[in-house]
Structure 1
Amino acid sequence: MDEHLPEPIRAVEHELTALLRRGRAVSWEIAREVHPNLEPNTYGLLLWLRRSGSIRLTELAARLGVGKGTLSRQINALEVLGLVHRDPDPSDRRAAQISMTDEGQRRFDVARAARLGEFLRALDGWPERDVEEFARLLGRFNDSWQ
């Protein structure tokens, strides 16, 4: 089957595989920097929480593309670690708003700064237009998976 695929598609698969492998390794490192007991797959969850400030569990699950049960278990674990908290949603008392604690934000920001430093080093010397185009194309690619 592989020999019937166009070379650019095979190249994309190869490069994405390398990127994802590296990304998993970096996520393990950053997760451990945020908290020694943090699961590596929660970095993306924390990034969404950091960007949104406060968000309902159902909305966060939809944005992350995960089930509410899975997300609820992850949120529970983050609550136990003191990184996030739930507050009653003022518009619907049955629902909760999830946000990061001050300590969670502080730990996340320190760990994220290290990750962004890695990006800066990796993209050092790239023309700004190339970085902008790279970000645009990655966004387009990610949007096509939704």
Structure 2
Amino acid sequence: MPETVRRTLATVDEHLPEAMRAVEHELTALLRRGRAVSSELAREVHPGLEPDAYGLLLWLRRCGSVRLTDLAARLGVGKGTLSRQIHGLEGLGLVRRDPDPADRRAARLSLTEEGQRRFDAAQGGRLERFRQTLGTWSAADVGDFARLLRRFNEEYF
């Protein structure tokens, strides 16, 4: 690493408030654990499902039906990458493409009935784990946590 970059990083680190360091540490721990949980959830949905695909299923479940270009924009990924991932989900029988009634050249993506069933079963287990973890928190604290996570996601990503 060049000396100027090293000095700049040292200066930034010196002035970084302790609370920001704590946020960075906790967020790193959350993301690391989240990847492990996503792997488990993906296997619960389907043994051949890639860990990152659980998030795609979550968005498709939430949207109901969405164009690939809109989903790619929402997730911040390229259409080519997303198309390959969707193709894999189609191969597993979890996602389908239907013609877009507004534009016959485009398709709308949605979960198949089997995809919904499998996703809902896996999500039910995850929500139960959240209930156990957050069960001692007040409703106001859980609401604040959700609100702050949403705000962070909207501003950071």
**Shorter-normalised TM-score: what interval?**
over 0.9
- 1:100 correspondence with 2:106: no
Q: Residue 71 of structure 1 aligns with which residue?
A: 82
Overall identity of the aligned pairs, in %: 72
Runs of 4+ that moved beyond 4 A: none
- Alpha-carbon shift at residue 145 of structure 1 (Å): 1.8
Write the distance in 1 (CA, Å) between the matches of 2:125 and 2:141: 22
- Alpha-carbon shift at residue 53 of structure 1 (Å): 0.7
Q: What code does the residue aligned with 2:129 have?
A: E
- 1:135 correspondence with 2:142: no
Q: Residue 17 of structure 2 aligns with which residue?
A: 6
Write the distance in 2 (CA, Å) between the matches of 1:12 and 1:68: 32
How many residue pairs get matched? 146
Q: Residue 37 of structure 1 aligns with which residue?
A: 48
- Alpha-carbon shift at residue 5 of structure 1 (Å): 1.1
1:41-56 → structure 2 map (5 Å cutoff): 41-56=52-67
**CA shift digits 1:25-51 (9 cap, x unpaired):** 110000000000100001111001001
- 1:18 correspondence with 2:29: yes
Write the distance in 2 (CA, Å) between the matches of 1:137 and 1:34: 29
Write the distance in 2 (CA, Å) between the matches of 1:3 and 1:35: 47
- Alpha-carbon shift at residue 124 of structure 1 (Å): 1.2
Residue segments in structure 1 that go unaligned for 5+ positions in a row: none
Q: What code does the residue aligned with 1:94 have?
A: R
Larger radius of gyration: 2
**TM-score, length-scaled by structure 1:** 0.97
Q: Residue 136 of structure 2 aligns with which residue?
A: 125
Write the distance in 1 (CA, Å) between the matches of 2:14 and 2:119: 44
Q: What code does the residue aligned with 2:62 have?
A: R
1:77-88 → structure 2 map (5 Å cutoff): 77-88=88-99
Three-state SS of the structure 1 residue aligned to 2:52 is: helix
Three-state SS of the structure 2 residue aligned to 1:37 is: coil
